[in-house]
Amino acid sequence: MAFFAEYSSQELLQAQLQLWHQSLGFFKSVALSIALDLRIADAIHSLGGAATVPQILAEAGINPCKLRDLRRVMRVLTVSGIFSVQQPSTATASSDCKHGAEIYKLTAASRLLVRDTISTMGQQPPFLSVQLMLETCRGCPASRGIHAWFHQDQQQPGLTPFALANNGQTIWERAEHDDAACPFNDAMASDTAFLMPIVLKECGEVFHGLTSLVDVAGGFGGAAATIAAAFPDLKCTVLDLPQVVAKAPSGTNVQYVAGDMFENIPPANAVFLKWIMHDWGDDECVKILKNCKQAIPPRDAGGKIIIIDMVVGSGPSDIKLVETQVLYDLLIMNFNGVERDEQDWKKIFFEAGFKDYKIIPILGVRSIIELYP
């Protein structure tokens, strides 16, 4: 980070936000293309101009198992102004709110997507020019995979939009067999090198008082090594799959343990999960967290989980930040991952048996979450 010494942490995080926002802009087109393909505007129009996600699914003939994913697409389309959304009133709000009770309405923009919209001169409907401009987007693998995903009649375990567009191959398999085309591990190491000095500078107190920490799915140990260097008395261990640990560097200040986070996690004061949970669905996350809970002592003995991940909608009210978060959610949807808001996180935390949590939104699009047993 010496190269960036002239910049503050917030300047660096804002610069990262700018680059991510620009890079993910493609998914605005993907979301709009999906709206046209599934005839979402037509469905809302047919339902009187306002509808919930379950109503849209039924009207458009989309399998109800796609409710959560369509809600994620609608989140992008509302943040970008294509549709508007009305939240349930406080009196009627309940757990159903997280399952499609928001009411989506047509705007002037989405009204142009309705297929029966024609001028008094009998001209072609306005959506055709938009459809033409989206053709390049529709042809790319990410877009093809998501389109195919919504047209599936049922949820097939383990199948992802990415796999649908890549002959059944998962992102992890592609990264393992062709790291030149998909440099996943290098990208994660790069992100760690950028983010961890900022974490330690801005929120290093989350590691104070710990005597041991296990970095789950920590790869070659970049994050753990940075923490260990800042806290020499803190014993840091990296847990990852055997094939990863076999390639880990020697002579570092961290210990490597081969294993599987879905099976067992080594005991420690704290468990560290950087950029891991968003890769997995709720059931998998609950399983990981239950294993984490077994690995740490009670809260009064210093036990906790430290998570670095997105909390959609947390932090300053910055439209670019929120838009980047929901666009990243469409990216991660390709791999069956999820970017969660606070209510989504709270659900899996409590289901895994944890009692309390604290969100610290100081890492740009991401937050630090302290989770307590």
Tell me the HSE value of 53 on the side-chain side, using a 13 A CA sphere. 25
* Interacting residues of 136 by C-beta distance below 8 A, sequence separation 6+: none
- Taking CA atoms, 370 is separated from 205, 274, 345, 354, in Å, by 11, 12, 12, 11
Q: Which residue has the tokens 């375990």?
A: 157
Which residues does residue 257 pair with via DSSP β-bridges, in sequence order?
A: 239
Between CA 30 and CA 137 the distance in angstroms is 7
Query: Is 45 a residue of the active site?
Result: no
Between CA 347 and CA 273 the distance in angstroms is 18
Are residues 164 and 148 in contact, defined by beta-carbon separation less than 8 angstroms?
Answer: yes
> Catalytic pick from 21, 147, 208, 278?
278
C-beta contacts of 298-303 below 8 A and 24+ residues apart: 298/373, 299/355, 299/356, 299/372, 299/373, 302/209, 302/210, 302/211, 302/269, 302/270, 303/269, 303/270, 303/372, 303/373
* Total count of residues recorded for the chain: 373
Between CA 51 and CA 69 the distance in angstroms is 16
Between CA 239 and CA 256 the distance in angstroms is 6
Q: Show which residues are catalytic.
A: 278
